[in-house]
Amino acid sequence: MMKFPILAVLGFIVLLNACLLNAKEHVSADTFVFPAEFEEHESVWLAWPTRDITERKQDVVLEMIKALTPHVPLDLMVQDLNEMEEVSDILTTQNIPSSKVRLRIIPHDDFWVRDMGPIFLINSKKERIIADFGFNSWGCSPQYGAPVMKDEQVDRLVARELQLPVKRSWLISEGGDREFNGKGVMMATEAVELQRNPGWTKERLEAEFKRVFNVQKIIWLSKGLAEDPLANIGKLPGGKYFSTWTTGGHTDEYARFVKEDTVLLIEFTKEERDEDLIGKINYENMEENFSILKNATDIHGKHFKIIRAPGAYPMTRKLNRDSQVFMELKELEYKDGTVIGIDDTIDVMLPSSYLNFLITNGAVLIPAYWEKGRSEIMRQKDEAFKKIMEEIYPNREIIQINPEDVNLGGGGMHCISQQMPAE
């Protein structure tokens, strides 16, 4: 029996999926796009945390569920029937109405739904499909390792659950690096997309994004935050801290479309620039991105309104072998030659960011970090960002949640959620 090379088989599958999808598009005489996040949602998708031994990620997820259910239904992914029963009991104990949370058995390795989960596209007839990109654990793992492959199939399992067509792509790309204004423009971080796809040019990347999302323009931002590097670089600039399991510069950490004509962008002060090397890099990166955005236009040639938001107060944690995150970081092969010993204690800088927020029907979930005993500067930053969001969305409830236990894993509330557009 003749054995076909695996790439040829995979290529045939992608081609078959594309043909089936093209037939659907031909029948509908329409194109599918990724709507802006501030448009109406049918539901928000979340995943129940899988590795929650010491980090209290479940507490943040429950806070989000409580905040979201008055505004939008939820689809919550669980591993199996046993976990479905456990989570159902937890929701009942928390007085969360079961009618607002649909539990879906979708096996997953971790809960970063924005990056590895379903990407819902919709057309003018309100028909939905799911876009499916490759996934390689944010550029730090072999693409075909067992945990990666478990997450890589999540979007297709959701498509099967909902009986939706899938639009496939060879491109490796995570949802946290893509922002859309809903009117033909997408933002992405150049450094991230090129790192995930060695051998691809920016022009080839752009053509593929336009094919999948039917956008007309892509704004290429340069670099992300210094505390959001690739997880396997080793120590952060200046040698003070390790990064946690971070992404290499996702856009949703520093630049977001909040309206079709408005971009929210992180701003660091000159005082923050002069504090340390991390502050200096952040200042320079964001000013470079500001310059790019000032010159960017929408599909009609109009410049965007740019609102600057404060950078979060730097946050670190000491981790040792009692932490699941520590054990995961210990197993990485660091580019700078660092080796973490089993008895070490490491300082980890969290990728805390105000821009890792979630917009949904009637509400916006935003980060807030101040607690009694913490810096007054942190409290002032929390209040300043809330005021900005209240001015942008006067008709939505602005809900503050402390996401630092999710930040410890490498992302925020936006990273662990994905909206499904309303039909």
Q: Which amino acid is at 45?
A: W
pLDDT score, position 99: 94
Q: Kindly indicate the confidence band of residue 64, based on its pLDDT and cuts at 50, 70 and 90.
A: very high
The percent of residues above 70 in pLDDT, for the chain, comes to: 91
pLDDT score, position 52: 59
* pLDDT reading at 23 higher than 50: no
Which tokens hold the place of 395? 């008709």
CB atoms within 10 A of CB 341: 9
Q: Kindly indicate the confidence band of residue 53, based on its pLDDT and cuts at 50, 70 and 90.
A: low
Mean pLDDT (the chain, rounded): 91
Among the listed ranges 3-7, 44-48, 325-329, 360-364, which one has the minimum average pLDDT value? Answer: 3-7
> Which of helix, strand or coil describes residue 139?
coil
Query: 374, 312 in Cβ contact below 8 A?
Result: no
Mean predicted confidence (pLDDT) in 190-195: 96
Q: What is the pLDDT of residues 347-396, one digit of tens each?
A: 999 999 999 999 999 999 999 999 999 999 999 999 999 999 999 999 99
How many CA atoms lie less than 13 Å away from 288 in the CB half-sphere? 14
Q: Which amino acid is at 289?
A: N
Can you tell me the distance from the alpha carbon of 285 to that of 287, in angstroms, rounded to the nearest whole number? 6
pLDDT score, position 142: 59
pLDDT score, position 146: 79
Mean predicted confidence (pLDDT) in 208-235: 95
Which tokens hold the place of 199? 């051998």
Q: Kindly indicate the confidence band of residue 96, based on its pLDDT and cuts at 50, 70 and 90.
A: very high
Can you tell me the distance from the alpha carbon of 24 to that of 125, in angstroms, rounded to the nearest whole number? 12
Q: What is the pLDDT of residues 204-218, one digit of tens each?
A: 999 999 999 999 999
* pLDDT reading at 4 higher than 70: no
* pLDDT reading at 28 higher than 50: no
Can you tell me the distance from the alpha carbon of 324 to that of 321, in angstroms, rounded to the nearest whole number? 7
Domains of the chain: 14-175+233-250+307-421 (3.75.10.10)
Q: What is the pLDDT of residues 138-168, one digit of tens each?
A: 988 655 577 888 999 999 999 999 999 999 9
